[in-house]
Structure 1
Amino acid sequence: MVRGILMTGVCLMALAGAASAETVLNRGNDTDPATLDQQHTTTVSENRVLRDLYEGLLVQNEKGEAIPGAASSWDISEDGLIYTFHMRENAKWSNGDPVTAGDFEFTFHRIMDPKTAAGYASVLYAIKNAEEVATGKMPLDQLGVKALDDKTLQITLKNPAPYFLELLTHQTGFPLNRKAVEKFGGDKFTLPGNLVTNGAYTLVSFNPNDKISMKKNPNYWDASNVKIDAANWIPFEDRASCMRRFEAKEVDICSDVPAEQMDYVKKNLSGQFRLAPPYLGIYYIDIKGEPSSKLRDP
């Protein structure tokens, strides 16, 4: 969960008044998630949904800064290699079980297990032996992640990485409930009724090409500060469609707006238009040219 509201990219936002007993937020998304298994997700649209369901060791606040999540605090060794995380005493799964350091140990082992083929395992390659384990060169028990007890998780890095805490806000590292994964297996643990989450919301239903429905998780440790009772994620591969439903007051937030309608939006919906800073990233372009071309990839 993002504490406060952090909008990425361009969006339209209009929250209805709290006139009804239950506050429901209808949000437009670029598309349906291909999966709700966090270790197999790779897209922004999946990330948006998962942040409502799960909470990592750290989360992002409304400014995009990493702050305590499932871990209430942590210590870093003087050499910058050993991170010791202290789990929240009142952190619970949606089924009422406590969130433990063992849950995160299980999660990180699953991420790096070659059988999982996690789409973003490389995000956590800063962890000692992570790349070697993920590529099958070392066994799982050599991964630098260990639950010292139920409330203490130790992560050892291969080299100091001042940005490591920020990496832990990525969806790949969101925890899994081991009991649910082992009971239902495969992708079955992600189905409504099976999915056990530790975030602000729980999954009610997932109807492809229609919507994903969630309700407030009463067992979430910070539930008293969750003001929205229910949320629906509605897929809109056509951005203009979301805009039309936004203007009809059927959708409260559109994740993006069509570039060709930007002038219209700024003129007619300026009070509801939000433009966030652009994403920071690196794009690799594979260029195939003549053997003598200076632009040809080596």
Structure 2
Amino acid sequence: MKKKIIMLAFLVSVVSFALAACGDSSKKETKDKKTLRLVTGAVKTLDSVKGSDEVSFNIIQNTQENLLIFKDNKIIPGAAESYTVSGDKKTYTFKLRKNLKWSDGKALTSKDYKYAWMRLLNSKSGAPYSFFLFGVVNGEKYFKNEVPASEVGIETPDDSTIIVKLSEPISYFTQIVAFPALAPQREDVVNRYGSKYGSNLNTQVYSGPFMVSEWQKGGKIELVRNPNYWNAKEVKLDKVKFTEIKESNTAYKMFVSNQLDVIAGAGEYLKPLKDGVKEGKWNEINEVGSSVFYTLYNLDSSNKLLKNKNIRLALSIAINREGLTEKVMRRNIPAYGLVPEGIQVGNINYRSEVSEPLKEVMNEDPKNLFIKGLKELGLDPDPSKYEINYLLQNSDAVSKMQGEYMQNTWKQVIGVNVKLVTSADFSDFLSKVDKGEFDMSSSGWGADYNDPMTFLDLFTPENGSNYGKYNDERVNELLSKIKTMTDDNEKLKIYKEVERIEVVDNPAVAPNYFKEIYSFQKKYVKGLELPRFGGTYQLRWTSIS
């Protein structure tokens, strides 16, 4: 998530677009009524505590107001007018703005933030992001039911103040505070709807710039401006319409026929879109994203092949990443590690100092490695006698095309049979991986904050997004050790070792590619942000000129 990216659907990666106007009458509606139309994947939940994916967080970050928010990928005040940090960097004191309100007119207070954060830490909530607050004093112990809620280092001495005490300094803590999973929640509303909270628009109240006005699952979700938002006068759009569109060719045709405002360039459509920029038809934004896409291994699968390290490494080495990005996708950057370019350890660019670990072993023979793994398992050493299921993120043509490329590669290079399993949509995919219904899956993760930890702690036992049930004692030990470290150079060494273990020595995943952003926008769209952290879009500063 932004982004969140959480697991990221291939559709969101390859074809993320903001949409507007259909025909002349729609154009008039867009400009006169300030309506922007966007494409979305299937939204799983509006409950920030239960959110785990970029698609859901995209709606949450535009309808709820965190204490701090991202603007141009930098932290600025949100509901908190100001905050201070103690000299030892362990205590954060946030002061809320005056007269904050929920969409139903009730006061928004510091207690709404504490309630949401404590619910995030409550193990009964099943929150994928509970580990985000383990650095708070007794946060992890409360999660493990070892201490009562009263001993957790989150205090609200009054309705406009929230004090957070950390066990050790966390250099990126303000970025965690700005992440959508830490949005406020109303205790009375959550209790009223129970397990249904966040499942439909009638169970929600909103604290952010927009409110959900319509939600047809499988079809669309619409937002309208929240008149009770503290900065409503600065919100330029009156309405935002998200529509589920699965096929990239449909979106491309709508874009060039002036029915859409923004489209991500991919495959065969990239060249004509770039030509349109040269002809002055629309603008282009091109940058390296903060997401990595990979093949996720389920170590808890009934298919015991995936329990062998050499078999997992063989499957990874066999992937032709240049062929995938250049011939199939015609975009993105081959990935031989987990951490993308631009992620920092303090002021150090991690990728500039640490080479991608998989590059060091790419000269090994993947078939021989696979056969070695079969022998270690006491199995027949013929790869063609085995089948592995590969779960796709969606049912669209792009997902199938990439899946078939991977399937054919593994068959040709190793000889193993791979069966493609199609998800109905991204929400169905998330449900399947959450239940462990896969051997391998096409998965991805977008940075939640600017530090390698956001990628490398994905595969720890306490991480709610560790769908493959990976558990390496050395990784756990190193990541636990780094929490008390302040020297960035020492952190860099540990991150380097952890990444090598997770990719080469005891693979949790097979990295496939780093996301490259090609965003083509109609010239009248202004201020549409594509944040590196959180959901897909930041809409509060968007306008149509």
Match of 1:5 in 2: none
> Is contact 1:9-1:277 (8 Å) kept?
no
User: Is residue 274 from structure 1 mapped to residue 282 from structure 2 by the alignment?
Assistant: no
Match of 1:130 in 2: 139
Q: Give RMSD over aligned pairs.
A: 2.8
Match of 2:111 in 1: 102
How many Å apart are 1:111 and its aligned residue? 0.2
Q: 1:185 to 1:172 in 2, by over 3 A?
A: same
Per-residue deviation, residues 41-61 of structure 1 (Å, max 9, x unmatched): 111111211121011010011
User: Is residue 297 from structure 1 mapped to residue 506 from structure 2 by the alignment?
Assistant: yes
Q: Distance in 2 between matches of 1:172 and 1:152?
A: 20
Secondary structure in 2 aligned to 1:186? helix
Which of 53, 71, 81 in structure 1 is aligned with 2:63?
A: 53
User: Is residue 166 from structure 1 mapped to residue 175 from structure 2 by the alignment?
Assistant: yes
> Is contact 2:82-2:95 (8 Å) kept?
yes
* TM-score normalised by the chain length of structure 1: 0.86
Q: Distance in 1 between matches of 2:261 and 2:218?
A: 18
User: Is residue 183 from structure 1 mapped to residue 204 from structure 2 by the alignment?
Assistant: no
Q: Which has the higher contact order (CA 8 A, sep 6+)?
A: 1
Match of 2:309 in 1: 288
Match of 1:224 in 2: 233
> Is contact 1:28-1:235 (8 Å) kept?
yes
Per-residue deviation, residues 243-271 of structure 1 (Å, max 9, x unmatched): 222233333334x3433422222122563
Q: Distance in 2 between matches of 1:264 and 1:284?
A: 31
How many Å apart are 1:67 and its aligned residue? 0.6
Q: What amino acid is the match of 1:49?
A: I
Match of 2:332 in 1: none
How many Å apart are 1:38 and its aligned residue? 1.1
Give the paired residue count: 288
> Is contact 2:207-2:229 (8 Å) kept?
yes
Q: 1:41 to 1:288 in 2, by over 3 A?
A: same
User: Is residue 25 from structure 1 mapped to residue 234 from structure 2 by the alignment?
Assistant: no
Q: Distance in 2 between matches of 1:124 and 1:264?
A: 46
User: Is residue 249 from structure 1 mapped to residue 273 from structure 2 by the alignment?
Assistant: no
Could you tell me which runs of 5 or more consecutive residues in structure 1 were left unpaired when the two chains were aligned. Answer: 3-7
How many Å apart are 1:102 and its aligned residue? 0.4
How many Å apart are 1:21 and its aligned residue? 3.8
Secondary structure in 1 aligned to 2:289? coil
Match of 2:273 in 1: 265
Q: Distance in 2 between matches of 1:212 and 1:51?
A: 14
Q: Tell me whether 274-283 or 82-91 shows the greater mean CA deviation.
A: 274-283
Match of 2:152 in 1: 143
Q: 1:297 to 1:267 in 2, by over 3 A?
A: same
Could you tell me which runs of 5 or more consecutive residues in structure 2 were left unpaired when the two chains were aligned. Answer: 3-11, 22-26, 298-307, 311-372, 378-500, 508-545
> Is contact 1:114-1:134 (8 Å) kept?
yes
> Is contact 2:19-2:262 (8 Å) kept?
yes
Per-residue deviation, residues 80-124 of structure 1 (Å, max 9, x unmatched): 111110011032110111210000110011000000011111223
How many Å apart are 1:18 and its aligned residue? 7.2
> Is contact 2:43-2:56 (8 Å) kept?
yes
Q: Distance in 2 between matches of 1:235 and 1:268?
A: 25
Q: Tell me whether 65-74 or 133-142 shows the greater mean CA deviation.
A: 133-142
Q: Distance in 1 between matches of 2:144 and 2:247?
A: 38
> Is contact 2:20-2:35 (8 Å) kept?
no
Secondary structure in 1 aligned to 2:203? coil
Match of 1:82 in 2: 91
How many Å apart are 1:164 and its aligned residue? 0.5
Q: Kindly, what percent of the aligned residue pairs are identical?
A: 23
Match of 2:54 in 1: 44
Match of 1:202 in 2: 211
Per-residue deviation, residues 168-197 of structure 1 (Å, max 9, x unmatched): 111110111222112222224552233101
Q: 1:282 to 1:246 in 2, by over 3 A?
A: closer
Secondary structure in 1 aligned to 2:224? strand
Q: What amino acid is the match of 1:58?
A: L
Larger radius of gyration: 2
Q: Distance in 2 between matches of 1:125 and 1:260?
A: 45
Per-residue deviation, residues 257-292 of structure 1 (Å, max 9, x unmatched): 433422222122563332243115697965722369
Q: Tell me whether 14-23 or 262-271 shows the greater mean CA deviation.
A: 14-23
Q: Distance in 1 between matches of 2:292 and 2:78?
A: 25
* TM-score normalised by the chain length of structure 2: 0.49
Q: Tell me whether 239-248 or 164-173 shows the greater mean CA deviation.
A: 239-248
